[in-house]
Structure 1
């Protein structure tokens, strides 16, 4: 499987343990559940899919989050002092993590956490992100409409370029690792003792990977909890002691969802659709469900399109289908995952389908409904734009036309009346002036 999308299914090379001084004098863990000493006292936790349009509702981490609306009374965020002098954040599988100060050096792997840092006004703190040129370029395409918002990615380290190399985490010397310790423990040459070592000698972990698709976590994480995207974002907001920024952005998100819910056409009038990426051989597609649970579908699920492969059980994150299976499903709309990023070419995608004897007859090809999609590794800002993007691609008569995307284009410049959410409101929230 060479799909850029699914780096978590590779096993990046790790490294031998490194002895070094402990630097936890400023940051400490304080969980209520101990898993064999994992994470120096913090609680321990492949991704699958969030049904229902209300799942991404912007609430903070709930202790019993389900596919529907989180329990409004179960706010998993810890109380903060509000002045950065000492605060805490709570998320499974870590439990409660206490901070004596706001992190100034932040390690991320997946783009969503870097986007969260930017959204909270701390993008400059990020020291690492997966494939910086691809991730950073894509993020900045979304940020182009947001005054004063950008992501400086040029000098960032790619944390998976050598596998998840432990010595690099020592070198980066982060104040927090915005990554799931359960996921880290599955990487090549890593186990729980390595995770504990980094936690105690460098900085705590704070992330929840397996909510991305609701897959089972590794053995030993029986109490692992699942969250939607905006719940995870709420936890990260507490890491930075930025509750006000979070709440302002969550309100924009909720308003966007309310507007979409109120305007969606009846089920029988909705298009059939698939989200795919083209395999390297050009003869098959990796295809992903649209409406299943998990925060990696936080941009398609609220739109409620008819998933042309909804009945397919792939037993994992994705399925692989050939042109004949695609022709049998014959979706009205084909969404090309990663097509909006510099890692894939929409021109090549269109020409491959049009030049194929079966692909040329697909309804989506004949009707020119092949659309570029962004990244499933999305944070809150990306999610707002990707929901707008997908709404226009699926329902142009309701939400306005999505212009034809050409390789290298930025995000379209819609007029204020064409926009589905207020850019100035988002930029102000990020700037701390909601």
Structure 2
């Protein structure tokens, strides 16, 4: 591919050193991909969602002059001589991280911008001064993962996993190395989402918790102070929730599912397994009605018969807070189905909208609060009625589980960290 030497020369100052050798089915109901892995291998590293590690453990960063380096699996050590100002993302957790660090305007792409951006703004609506202008963002997966788009965008850093990228159609390790050397380094870790085995069989691949990944991205942007302040909010939230949970035997059974568009089956996910895709449900400790199910992939599907057998107290409908699903229609489909209408969660009006599994730190705070209220209304206050397409519901200040004003101040830089 022809390369514009003038445009690329300014990008090469963001050099990756030690880059390891290096999508379909992203929404529920679209099936798996060759990059999914089988979920059977586990890292010896802990999945730390409870709060920040020490700075040295979290970033592995060093500074030399005006530059800095950040170390993370699977990319190794990545060197920067400036804070990136053009940032490529695929999945919205990294866009949410950039927004949280005050660098949302640097991002030039995200998966399904209207869906991702609208959902994020549903949360940001409750944070004064925080919003996302998503209309001009490019969708990196609208036509596979076109290498031409990455050249067109000319990003300083690609917040995406090179191992994941190499596993996409028409990509190879050589393509990944080309992008890193000609445009800008990769900096992402996809398979920590469920701690599935990477498709290249890399036994040295390390898994991280959501907030550890956030800490590393914060170091890329040289925003450690913002990260540590937000991580403290998260730690306080998790501590508050977990210290008030009822005994396990008294907790509700729950499932995390998405009703197929034709209403014929449910796409299913676990609640308490490792991985940052579960960073909102795992701290809540509900009893997973499908805990013994092994789908052999990142997700599975079950019939109404299986749902009736599990008969959970609560149904958390993943993607329910996004514009891609109409929760009123979903509930109606369940109520009109001969088997669905007999589910106790349907009978007791405990079918709730959940957020996105591709959650960054701000989304994670809201989704933990949302889940806590949906699962334990007697403890944390009831989840308000939610109207499809509306922002995250307004919750009385005394029933909020984290301080919106503090979070907004950290993100905008107008409050003390």
**In the alignment, what sits opposite 1:46?**
36
Measure, in 2, the Cα distance between the counterparts of 1:30 and 1:243.
22
TM-superposed CA distance for 1:220, in Å, is 5.3
Runs (4+) of structure 1 exceeding 4 A deviation are 17-20, 47-51
Give the aligned CA root-mean-square deviation in angstroms. 2.1
- Per the alignment, do residues 72 and 80 of structure 1 end up closer, same or farther by CA in structure 2, a change over 3 Å counting? closer
Residue 378 of structure 2 is aligned to residue 397 of structure 1: yes
TM-superposed CA distance for 1:159, in Å, is 0.5
Residue 159 of structure 2 is aligned to residue 178 of structure 1: yes
TM-superposed CA distance for 1:425, in Å, is 1.1
Measure, in 2, the Cα distance between the counterparts of 1:157 and 1:73.
34
| CA offset digits 1:91-140 (Å, max 9, x no partner) | 11011111010000100000100000000000000100000011000000
SS where residue 128 of structure 1 aligns? coil
Contact 2:47 2:209 in 1 (8 A): no
| Residue in structure 1 matching 2:77, options 75, 96, 101 | 96
Measure, in 1, the Cα distance between the counterparts of 2:58 and 2:200.
27
- Per the alignment, do residues 18 and 182 of structure 1 end up closer, same or farther by CA in structure 2, a change over 3 Å counting? farther
SS where residue 62 of structure 2 aligns? coil
| Residue in structure 1 matching 2:49, options 48, 56, 69 | 56
| Residue in structure 2 matching 1:226, options 181, 184, 207 | 207
- Per the alignment, do residues 170 and 106 of structure 1 end up closer, same or farther by CA in structure 2, a change over 3 Å counting? same
TM-superposed CA distance for 1:73, in Å, is 7.3
Contact 1:80 1:241 in 2 (8 A): no
Measure, in 2, the Cα distance between the counterparts of 1:54 and 1:397.
29
**In the alignment, what sits opposite 1:10?**
none
| TM-score normalized with structure 2 length | 0.91
**In the alignment, what sits opposite 1:281?**
262
Measure, in 2, the Cα distance between the counterparts of 1:405 and 1:431.
27
Measure, in 2, the Cα distance between the counterparts of 1:410 and 1:141.
4
Residue 372 of structure 2 is aligned to residue 372 of structure 1: no
| Residue in structure 2 matching 1:78, options 54, 61, 64 | 61
Contact 2:47 2:207 in 1 (8 A): no
**In the alignment, what sits opposite 1:28?**
15
Residue 348 of structure 2 is aligned to residue 348 of structure 1: no
Measure, in 2, the Cα distance between the counterparts of 1:93 and 1:337.
29
| Residue in structure 1 matching 2:121, options 140, 148, 154 | 140
**In the alignment, what sits opposite 1:359?**
340
Residue 290 of structure 2 is aligned to residue 309 of structure 1: yes
Measure, in 1, the Cα distance between the counterparts of 2:47 and 2:207.
15
- Per the alignment, do residues 26 and 167 of structure 1 end up closer, same or farther by CA in structure 2, a change over 3 Å counting? same
| TM-score normalized with structure 1 length | 0.87
Give ranges in structure 2 of 5+ residues lacking alignment: 23-34
**In the alignment, what sits opposite 1:383?**
364
- Per the alignment, do residues 248 and 35 of structure 1 end up closer, same or farther by CA in structure 2, a change over 3 Å counting? closer
- Per the alignment, do residues 129 and 54 of structure 1 end up closer, same or farther by CA in structure 2, a change over 3 Å counting? closer
**In the alignment, what sits opposite 1:250?**
231
| CA offset digits 1:63-91 (Å, max 9, x no partner) | xxxxxxxx99734430347x9x3112121
Give ranges in structure 1 of 5+ residues lacking alignment: 1-16, 39-44, 61-70
SS where residue 107 of structure 1 aligns? strand
- Per the alignment, do residues 148 and 73 of structure 1 end up closer, same or farther by CA in structure 2, a change over 3 Å counting? closer
Measure, in 2, the Cα distance between the counterparts of 1:89 and 1:147.
31
Residue 313 of structure 2 is aligned to residue 332 of structure 1: yes
Contact 2:158 2:186 in 1 (8 A): yes
**In the alignment, what sits opposite 2:32?**
none
Residue 145 of structure 2 is aligned to residue 152 of structure 1: no
Measure, in 1, the Cα distance between the counterparts of 2:2 and 2:290.
47
